[in-house]
Amino acid sequence: MALSTPPTDSDNLDDPAPPQGQVLYARLARHARLRQLQLLVALQQCGSVLQAAASLHMSQSAATQALAEMERILGVRLFERHARGIRPTLAGQTLVDTARGVLAALEEAAESLAAIRRGAAAALPLGATPAATQAILSPLLAEFYKTEPRVHIDVQEDSSQRLLPLLLNGGLNAVFCREPVLLPASYVFKPLQPDEPVIMASTRHPLAKRRGIALSALKDSRWVLPTATIAVREIFEREVLAALPDALQFPVSTVSLPVFASLLNQPDAVALVPQSIAPVLPSGAQLCQLDVQLSSPLPPLGVVHRREQIPAMLIRMLKSWRNK
């Protein structure tokens, strides 16, 4: 069935046509509703219009009409039918992923507003990479709440590639991470803690008690890799693979500390990790640091925030770190 004609965004045929992305954004901003975004996510999760409608306490006809309206606005099919229900098209999955982010941001904002209604003195949304969470933010918050118990802090943990756009768009007040390669002039990175790459293994690893280990001695070990967006992954590819081009690898990459610890429990497993997270790997994992000297430096951990108009609570928080 053909889609109906999408809304017209300009009545002046003499005007140059704007980029298609701008046209679609204008339509979404003008016509889309949050309820429709909720419906898109529910449709993807349920795979059925009837079940998605029920989960949102809508009638099936209302859900069908809302989906048709979104497809009319964008002029593209968002879901297609198959033998067991419906599934998103490529365009539909793209919009579903975006809708999830919008709804998650609104949910976080609602949490901050609720905290303010309960008496919080301020709300401070922060982002942090896993290494920065363990090395900086966790001890920083413990110290901060001794003097500021009424501040509501909402922490998002993710890669810097995902957190920095939220900071630049105003969704976060600061991101604790390593120094970004590119940063607008209106933002600044302040280093807070040095770091270095280390190689971790099980205490049962054959080289666990040896001193002065060369990388080449790890030729029979199997590597647990961090995700490609983590700084130590670059060091692995640049330095470790230069010495061990045929290095054995687990078919998984992760930033999850429990996953790292679980895989490292195998006697032949090793992993390149920031020293900042080594002390907080699960205590029951029986891990140790191998005595391997690496030449590649690891950038320090720090915080990115605006150069000006810094929230007073963030200034107080960072001051407590400097006073450690």
Alpha-helix runs per DSSP H in 169-266: 231-235, 241-243, 257-264
Torsion on CA atoms 283, 291, 259, 166, rounded to nearest 10:
100
Arch. (CATH architecture) of 120-193+300-322 = 3-Layer(aba) Sandwich (3.40)
Tell me which residue of 273, 244, 246 sits closest to 259, measured CA to CA. 273
Fold classified for 197-296: D-Maltodextrin-Binding Protein; domain 2 (3.40.190)
State the Cα–Cα distance between residues 47 and 128, nearest whole angstrom.
34
Cα Rg of the chain, angstroms: 25
- 294's tokens: 């690496």
State the Cα–Cα distance between residues 217 and 15, nearest whole angstrom.
68
Q: Is the pLDDT of residue 106 over 90?
A: no
The band of 11, judged by pLDDT with boundaries at 50, 70 and 90, is very low
- 237's tokens: 């590819």
Residue of 97 and 65 predicted with greater confidence: 65
The predicted structure's pLDDT at residue 256: 75
Tell me the mean pLDDT in the region 144-168. 84
152 forms beta bridges with 123
Long-range contacts of 103-109 (CB under 8 A, 24+ apart): 103/34, 103/37, 103/38, 103/41, 105/166, 105/171, 106/34, 108/154, 108/156
The predicted structure's pLDDT at residue 262: 84
The predicted structure's pLDDT at residue 3: 60
The predicted structure's pLDDT at residue 115: 57
Burial class (CB in 10 A: 0-12, 13-18, 19+), 133: buried
| Mean pLDDT estimate for the chain | 84
Handedness of CA 62, 106, 179, 253 (dihedral sign): negative
Domain ranges, ordered by start, for the chain: 20-99, 120-193+300-322, 197-296
Query: What class, spelled out in words, does domain 20-99 have in CATH?
Result: mainly alpha
Lowest mean pLDDT across 1-10, 31-40, 207-216: 1-10
Tell me which residue of 163, 126, 185 sits closest to 318, measured CA to CA. 126
How do strand 174-178 and strand 122-128 relate by DSSP bridges?
parallel
The answer to whether the beta carbons of residues 264 and 252 sit under 8 Å apart is: no
Q: Is the pLDDT of residue 162 over 80?
A: yes
Distances (CA, A) of 167 to 2, 84, 107, 217: 41, 41, 17, 43
Tell me the mean pLDDT in the region 111-137. 75
Tell me the mean pLDDT in the region 101-126. 68
The band of 13, judged by pLDDT with boundaries at 50, 70 and 90, is very low
Q: Do 120-193+300-322 and 197-296 fold alike per CATH?
A: yes
Tell me the mean pLDDT in the region 251-255. 77
